[in-house]
Amino acid sequence: MSRILITGGSSYLGQHLVPLAAASHIVHHTYHQNQPNLPAAGSQLDIRDETAVSTLITTFQPDIIIHLAGSNRGSDMASVIRLGASSVVWAAREVGARLIHLSTDSIFAGDAAPYAETAVPTPVNAYGRAKADAEAIVQQHANSVIVRTSLIYGLAQMDHGTRWMAEALAQGQPVTLFNNQIRNPVWVNSLVHALLELAHHRYTGILNVAGRQVLSRADFALKLLDYWQVQPRDTLTIAPSDGSWPLNCELDLQRATAVLQTPLPGVDEVLAMNVRIHSA
């Protein structure tokens, strides 16, 4: 059985990936401030602490590292993303592990979509700059895959964006849905299967892994608010964004479709499948 280290087991993505990975691998996951209840061994780790990372890696001896820790939230976001990438690259080299790194469509300015794997990052904000720097660091490790993905959502647990909207609407706070930001959101179930497929694949380099339906953030948000039956919506408005986040980040999925067996359904397909499951 392969040994997989998953950083950020407590992340939204990690809470879906760890149980699936643990069914057929020896898994160790890490969390930082929020200890999750997951069916695999886990330990607290600050990914910026090189000594702690070194101790964990040399003890666990992973064959594969899937690096999820770090997101677009928190005041220390940029340092966690950059130093985390350095730590895991160093660790992967130390034990000869394959590295799967999570990146984002937000490394692009959003003015030249669709973006293929050959597209050079053109970040417009701090998160995009940090994730673009992390990609450059990960590229120093030959046996690695940089997975560029889009908005992650699931139908069993509310994603961060929908939760934020639901809480704000419940409190009567204004929520604006941007109708000029274009994305291809990815179903978390597809993404975790793709990550495990890539863990055992020969592919190296950048790979776009997202859903095949391209839509505005407003359309996407409304579909999920309907799915989760979020009410009231009196304080909801739909408008163009101010440009602090890139506008059109559509990822070109031609290479992913050729490389992966994992299907990458769009939002409507996922919602339709779920309706069938629940009405069966």
- Grouping H, G, I as helix, E, B as strand and the rest as coil, residue 44 is strand
- Helix 12-22, helix 188-199: angle, nearest 10: 50
Site pattern 197..226 for ligand NAP (x: CB under 6 A): ------------------------------
User: At closest approach, how far in Å is the CB of 235 from ligand NAP?
Assistant: 23
Asked if 151 is part of the footprint of ligand NAP (rule: CB under 6 A), the reply reads yes
Asked if 141 is part of the footprint of ligand NAP (rule: CB under 6 A), the reply reads no
* Span interacting with ligand NAP, options 113-121, 148-156, 170-178, 201-209, rule CB under 6 A: 148-156
Out of 6, 152, 209, 253, name the contact with ligand NAP by CB under 6 A: 152
Site pattern 96..135 for ligand NAP (x: CB under 6 A): ------x-x-------------------------------
* Span interacting with ligand NAP, options 110-118, 144-152, 230-238, 271-279, rule CB under 6 A: 144-152
H or E, element range at 152: strand 152-153
Burial class from Cβ neighbours inside 10 Å (0-12, 13-18, 19+) for residue 168 reads middle
Out of 6, 69, 199, 230, name the contact with ligand NAP by CB under 6 A: 69
User: At closest approach, how far in Å is the CB of 126 from ligand NAP?
Assistant: 13
Q: Which is nearer to ligand NAP, 186 or 260 (CB)?
A: 186
- Grouping H, G, I as helix, E, B as strand and the rest as coil, residue 170 is helix
- Grouping H, G, I as helix, E, B as strand and the rest as coil, residue 62 is coil
Q: Which is nearer to ligand NAP, 163 or 235 (CB)?
A: 163
- The CA angle 253-181-241, to the nearest 5 degrees, is 165
Considering only residues 240 through 259, tell me which ones interact with ligand NAP, judged by CB under 6 A: none
Out of 47, 146, 196, 199, name the contact with ligand NAP by CB under 6 A: 47
CB atoms within 10 A of CB 121: 19
Q: Which is nearer to ligand NAP, 74 or 231 (CB)?
A: 74
Strands 182-183 and 215-216: antiparallel
CB 56 within 8 A of CB 35: no
- Bridge partners for 148 per DSSP: 103, 208
Tokens of 250: 């559509």
CB 13 within 8 A of CB 192: yes
**Greatest CA separation found in the chain?**
55
Site pattern 2..31 for ligand NAP (x: CB under 6 A): ------x-xxxxx----------------x
d(CA 235, CA 253): 36
Asked if 45 is part of the footprint of ligand NAP (rule: CB under 6 A), the reply reads yes
- The residues that touch ligand NAP, with contacts defined as CB under 6 A, are 8, 10-14, 31-34, 45-48, 68-71, 73, 80, 102, 104, 149, 151-152, 160
